[in-house]
Structure 1
Amino acid sequence: MTIYSLYIYDRHCTCVYYHDWQRTKQARPATEGGILPAVSQSVSPHKHDSVTPYNPRNTLSSLSGVVIAVNEDHPNPQSNSRGPTPNPPSQSQQQPQSGLPFDEEAKLVYGVVISLRNMIRKLSGKDEQFVNYYTSTYKLHLYETMSGYKFVMLSDPNVDSLRFVLRQMYSGPFLEYVVRNPLVPMDSKQRGIDNEYFRTSVDRMVRGLSVFL
């Protein structure tokens, strides 16, 4: 059992945060203008003028200018300095990518959540809540706040409900580092959740779960 990825949508139906852990197929970068800045560096459109390439192993890389990862590109003093240094494999060579760019993938995930939620409310009444569904390959977990934020997590289909984890994620790191932080804009028309403390706390919380393998 394992956890694949996390999406956070705001009341404008916009994906403002993304984090993945053990996806079988890495999400393709979004098209230019398809997602907001700071949603996730791993799925942001490639910048041709970027000096430092994205390192997929650095899941906690900061967008605020704080370097928290060790640069592993320095040559080893014990290696042969005369020979050419091989180029590191690209992200596409390290892991297969999905067929859709991330902006299209995020829209599909949100569309599935809204469609199933509306169907359940029409069939079972307004008091019935949609919390999860599963297929043969994954399970989708949903927690929706009173302010309209939707926390969506994908996991192995055999994992029990993770709604309580999403609730703790909202009541803990999200309120502490996003809502109560005056430096984090809450309007998704401008920027995603650009807060390194929140991303670090989410990563630590998920990796500490017993179902995370």
Structure 2
Amino acid sequence: MTVHSLYIFDRHCNCVYYQDWHRTKPPKPAVEGGILPAVSRAVTPRAASSDGNTTSTFTSPRNTLNLSSGIVVAVNEEPQARNAIEPPAQPPSSTGLPFDEETKLVYGVILSLRNMVKKLTKRDEQFTNYRTSTYKMHLYETISGYKFVMLTDPRADSVRFILRQLYSGPFMDYVVRNPIVDMDSREHGIDNEYFRASVDRIIRGLSIFQ
């Protein structure tokens, strides 16, 4: 069993964060203007440089919040942990959808199944996961409207408690309580390497992670 990928959607239906681990094919970069900046280096559109080569438009974080001291720290250089967490962006494969189209499908599945559950049960029941022959999708939705979506091996048990842990732990510590992060912004993804490193550490520590 394994963990494939993690998406976080905000209250405006935008994908503000993406990270993957055991994905068989690298995601295609989104089209220019298709996603918010800093969602992930692997899916950020690559702009053509003056010599015709493509370069990533991902912007590195310049400010983070030190959890232990509560002091805002200016970061002048990219942390070394970045390369260990996320490999350099891959060239687009010949098959598959651009990442912005992929996120629309993922969000559409969540919305459709959630509405179907409410209509069929006639009660205020929550959609938490569903399974196919190739993957299992897990959902945790916060009161503020953020949706944490994880794709795992279809044999995996529910990881909703892990998604809740990501929200109550790293997300609250490095995003919500970070005075530099605008929580109602439609212009930027979660550009915080402390959050990304913490998520990576939690996921790699799971028993289903191989």
TM-score by length of 2: 0.82
Quote how far apart the aligned CAs of 1:16 are: 0.5
Q: Is the 8 A contact 2:28 2:99 kept in 1?
A: yes
Contact 2:37 2:59 in 1 (8 A): no
> What secondary structure, in the 3-state scheme, does the structure 1 residue paired with 2:18 have?
strand
Residue of structure 1 in register with 2:137 after alignment:
140
Deviation for aligned residue 1:98: 4.8
Runs (4+) off by over 2 Å: 47-54, 65-70, 90-93
Contact 2:42 2:90 in 1 (8 A): no
Q: Tell me if the contact between 2:3 and 2:21 (Cα under 8 Å) persists in the aligned partners.
A: yes
What RMSD, in angstroms, separates the aligned Cα atoms of the two structures? 2.5
Secondary structure in 2 aligned to 1:199? helix
Q: Percent identity?
A: 64
Q: How many residue pairs are counted as aligned between the two chains?
A: 188
For normalisation by structure 1, the TM-score amounts to: 0.81
Q: How does 1:84-163 map to 2 (within 5 A)?
A: 91-92=90-91, 98-163=95-160
Q: Report the secondary structure of 2:109's partner residue.
A: helix
Distance apart, 1:130 and its partner CA: 0.5
CA distance in 2, matches of 1:24, 1:188: 32
In structure 2, relative to structure 1, the CA distance for the partners of 1:68 and 1:32 (3 Å cut) is same
User: Is 1:36 aligned with 2:36?
Assistant: yes
Extract unaligned runs of 5+ from structure 2: 62-75, 84-88
**Displacement of 1:52:** 9.8
Partner of 1:201: 198
Query: Displacement of 1:48 after TM fit?
Result: 2.2
CA contact (8 A) 1:28 1:99 kept: yes
* SS of the residue 1:200 aligns to: helix
- Report the counterpart of residue 57 of structure 1 in structure 2: none
Shift of 1:44: 0.3
The CA deviation at 1:68 is 2.9
Alpha-carbon contact 1:11-1:148 (below 8 Å) kept: yes
Which of 79, 82, 98 matches 1:68? Answer: 79
Residue 187 (structure 1) aligns with: 184
TM-superposed CA distance for 1:47, in Å, is: 2.2
Could you say which residue in structure 2 is the equivalent of 1:19? Answer: 19
Deviations for 1:79-109, whole angstroms, at most 9, x for unmatched residues? xxxxxxxxxxx9349xx56510000000000
Aligned-partner SS, 1:151: strand
Q: CA deviation at 1:197?
A: 0.7
- The amino acid across from 2:132 in the alignment is T
Secondary structure of the equivalent of 1:106?
Answer: helix
CA 1:62 to 1:155, structure 2 compared with 1: closer, same or farther past 3 Å? farther
Counterpart of 1:27 in 2: which secondary structure? Answer: coil
Aligned partners of 1:163, 1:98: CA distance in 2, in Å? 31
Relative to 1, partners in 2 of residues 1:53 and 1:97: Cα closer, same or farther, differing over 3 Å?
same
SS class of match (2:46): coil
Deviation at 1:128, TM superposition (A): 1.2
Secondary structure, counterpart of 1:11 in structure 2: coil
**What is aligned with 1:48?**
48
Cα distance in structure 1, aligned partners of 2:102 and 2:49 = 26
